[in-house]
Structure 1
Amino acid sequence: MPVVFRFLPDLPPPGSDWENLLALLTTIFSTIEGRQAAELRYQQARGPVQVWLAEAEGKLVGCKLGYERKPEHYYSWLGGVEPAYRGQGIAAELLRQQHTWCRLQGYQRIRTQTYNQWRAMLLLNLKSGFDIVGTQQGAYGLVIVLEKSVLPTKTAEAQSYASEK
């Protein structure tokens, strides 16, 4: 089954995409059930929330949301994949698309946070170049704070330079 990826520059208005996004987030994060709509709209009121969506067989199966924390710093906020579709690289592709977009928009750093209970996301972040930069007490236990640079690497710059020659 092919997976189709879409980008939305801001949260969708009430309707199909909005309802599907809320349902998916409730499936992924049972701890936020009943609060997700208010949290999404609160964050949107502070500035645009970018959304990357993954769809399979006409159904929303994954998402990645984020927003600007401050100039040149992006916060990768919420993301996940419906349990039946995990293990297919969907989360990794959503993360890759988000980080590519961030780099193209001029962001230098991406920060994210997770709980130890979401090990798959923690491991994906570490494999994708994030470093653990701290911990803090969260509503559901200890929060792991991760950060990564999205500046072009010297290797990428050298390859780009070589291809121009």
Structure 2
Amino acid sequence: MTRFEYLPDLPAGATLEALLDLLALVFDDQDRAAWLAELRYQQARGPVQLWLAWAEGQVVGCKLGYERKPGHYYSWLGAVRPERRGQGLASALMEQQHQWCRRQGYRRLRTQTYNRWRSMLILNLRHGFEVVGTCQGAHGLMIVLEKELLPVGEADERPGR
């Protein structure tokens, strides 16, 4: 059984260790130390919110983000353990993040991805993101996507919103 957890700030201790394990596994171009440095760097700039999926005592999925500017939220990182993909975890985590953003009054989401992460690109498109441009990233050209959020209480009947 999968348990979902929201954390308003970066965790410490065993939860942080479990998150670092997941990030180093999924993004094999960075080790745990590099991820820890990047997480701490982002946290120093402002709060980083996390949504975690737990199963059998380990973090099997995550979604992280932070405020870009008032009204705008950056959906920063998402990861699911390879053996747990295809079970809807990434969608569930994304939906939780987007619902939280609506409740907090955010009106626009932004994310970026590389073409090599096609499953993430497709997931973003299915959840209502639109490609708005490209930019040069550390590992090549990045695809920039944005999504407008409807305010809480408004009927949201359009698919992918």
The runs of at least 4 aligned residues of structure 1 exceeding 4 Å deviation read none
Q: Which residue of 2 aligns with 1:26?
A: 24
Determine the C-alpha separation between the residues in 2 that align with 1:112 and 1:76: 5
Larger radius of gyration: 1
CA-based RMSD of the aligned residues comes to: 1.7
Query: Please, which runs of 5 or more residues in structure 2 have no aligned partner?
Result: none
Q: Which residue identity is paired with 2:124?
A: N
1:68-83 to 2 correspondences below 5 Å: 68-83=67-82
Determine the C-alpha separation between the residues in 2 that align with 1:154 and 1:16: 37
TM-score, with structure 1 as normaliser: 0.90
Q: Which residue of 1 aligns with 2:111?
A: 112
TM-score, with structure 2 as normaliser: 0.93
Q: Give the Å deviation of 1:22.
A: 0.6
Q: Give the Å deviation of 1:110.
A: 0.4
Q: Give the Å deviation of 1:57.
A: 1.6
Q: Give the Å deviation of 1:152.
A: 3.6
Describe the shift of the 1:152–1:84 C-alpha distance in structure 2 as closer, same or farther (beyond 3 A). same
Determine the C-alpha separation between the residues in 2 that align with 1:102 and 1:109: 9
Describe the shift of the 1:70–1:155 C-alpha distance in structure 2 as closer, same or farther (beyond 3 A). closer
SS in structure 1 opposite 2:29? helix
1:43-81 Cα offsets, whole Å, 9 max, x none, are 101111000000112211000000000000000001110
Which structure's residues are more often helix, by fraction? 1
Say whether the 8 Å CA contact 2:52–2:93 is kept in structure 1: yes
1:8-157 to 2 correspondences below 5 Å: 8-13=7-12, 15-33=13-31, 34-152=33-151, 156=155
Q: How many residues align?
A: 156
Determine the C-alpha separation between the residues in 2 that align with 1:39 and 1:49: 11
Q: Give the Å deviation of 1:123.
A: 0.2
Say whether the 8 Å CA contact 2:105–2:151 is kept in structure 1: no
Query: Please, which runs of 5 or more residues in structure 1 have no aligned partner?
Result: 159-165
Identity among equivalent positions (%) equals 63
Q: Which residue of 2 aligns with 1:163?
A: none
Determine the C-alpha separation between the residues in 2 that align with 1:22 and 1:115: 21
